[in-house]
Amino acid sequence: MQAVVYRGPGLLSLEEKPQPSLEKPTDAVVKILKTTICGTDLHIKKGDVPTVDIGRTLGHEGIGEITEIGTAVSLFKVGDKVLISCITSCGRCPFCKKEIYSHCEEGGWLLGNRIDGTQAEYVRIPFADTSLHPLPLNKDLEPFVMLSDILPTGYEVGVLKGSIALGSCVAIIGAGPIGLATLLTAQFYNPSQLIVIDIDDNRLAVAKKLGATSTINPQKENVLEKIHSLTGGKNVDVSIEAVGMPAAFDICQACVTPGGHLANIGVHGQPVTLHLENLWHTNITITTALVDTYTIPILLKMVEEGKLKPESLITHHFPLKEAMRAYEVFGNAFQEKALKIIFEVNGN
């Protein structure tokens, strides 16, 4: 089968690899129909994720069709169409019992990290009963690819950790796929303002279409002055970091109001400065997390009912055989106006 393989810092290749097979009774093998590239995959390509071995098949998102199941799999059968969670969960360990699936003692982030992932024609899924979700019948399945990772990440780590509530004033720093996923799901709670901040005018235009009440480009405007002009001289109730850069975290600290929440989503590859000299007395809550994907069932219902439209995040399509070109496009998102890219696999 064809697979996207990590070959060391800066090096990816499309290679022929053996098709995966069952290793444990709880496994399933899934034929990938559609998958995508995540910003984390770019971190891996750069060599920033030391847990990824050379030779690893990348990818942790996708939808597919089950072709084999282990003897202990009871909730699925061969032929079922499924959504693959980016997080693998055993469902039994102390962390799983608390729905902190990202810290599962036998799972967590495995796919495309510690085991071969979804940017391939087939993938082996450990703990299939608790790591796969059935897809609805008679629906366009492509939008559900966004529910493997970015939508639950934006919802859980941004919206829920940030405690967005009815009438909240919210600033989202970063209008990439994760920031926009946060924007979409924040609207479940009818915040009074959704201010999106980014240096890419194209992404800010997309944010406006998807529900942002205001946008700010820090290269053109003073962020705090603009926020104060929008809020009657006040800061925001919730600031959400969706970039993973020190400058973005600095903005979050500067614009959150006393008693507010700062929710960090971004993957940080370098240290940031926590300005406790300014924040120690402000009663703010700072949260960090890796997505646990416990909200996937809720988000599936929202998509099925037409109340959430993940397809709005998809900008490009490529067959798997053009994966290297797709990585070029995704890696140059500013010039290519790229958000989420769909790999079409196995004739789909």
The set of residues, in sequence order, having a beta carbon less than 8 Å from that of 179 and lying 6+ positions away, is 154, 172, 173, 196, 198, 207, 240, 242, 243, 265
CA 340 to chain centroid, in Å, comes to: 10
Q: What is the pLDDT of residues 165-183, one digit of tens each?
A: 999 999 999 999 999 999 9
Domain 152-288 fold is Rossmann fold (3.40.50)
DSSP class of 325: H
Strand, coil or helix: 301: helix
**What is the pLDDT, as a whole number, of residue 137?**
86
**What is the pLDDT, as a whole number, of residue 226?**
97
* Joined tokens for residue 40: 């984390």
8 Å CB contact between 86 and 111:
yes
**What is the pLDDT, as a whole number, of residue 139?**
85
Closest-CA residue to 3 (of 18, 15, 20, 21): 15
**What is the pLDDT, as a whole number, of residue 270?**
86
**What is the pLDDT, as a whole number, of residue 321?**
96
**What is the pLDDT, as a whole number, of residue 12?**
97
Sort residue 204 into left (φ over 0), alpha (ψ -120 to 50) or beta.
alpha
**What is the pLDDT, as a whole number, of residue 269?**
80
Report residues of the chain scoring pLDDT below 50.
none
Question: CA-to-CA distance for 214 and 275, rounded, in angstroms?
Answer: 27
Closest-CA residue to 106 (of 20, 26, 28, 6): 26
**What is the pLDDT, as a whole number, of residue 348?**
54
**What is the pLDDT, as a whole number, of residue 346?**
81
Would you kindly state where each structural domain of the chain is located, as residue ranges?
A: 2-149+292-344, 152-288
Question: CA-to-CA distance for 14 and 120, rounded, in angstroms?
Answer: 9
Q: What is the pLDDT of residues 265-308, one digit of tens each?
A: 998 888 999 999 999 999 999 999 999 999 999 999 999 999 99
**What is the pLDDT, as a whole number, of residue 81?**
97
Distances (CA, A) of 329 to 33, 47, 62, 163, 167: 21, 19, 19, 35, 38
The CATH class that applies to domain 2-149+292-344 reads alpha beta
Q: What is the pLDDT of residues 249-268, one digit of tens each?
A: 999 999 999 999 999 999 88
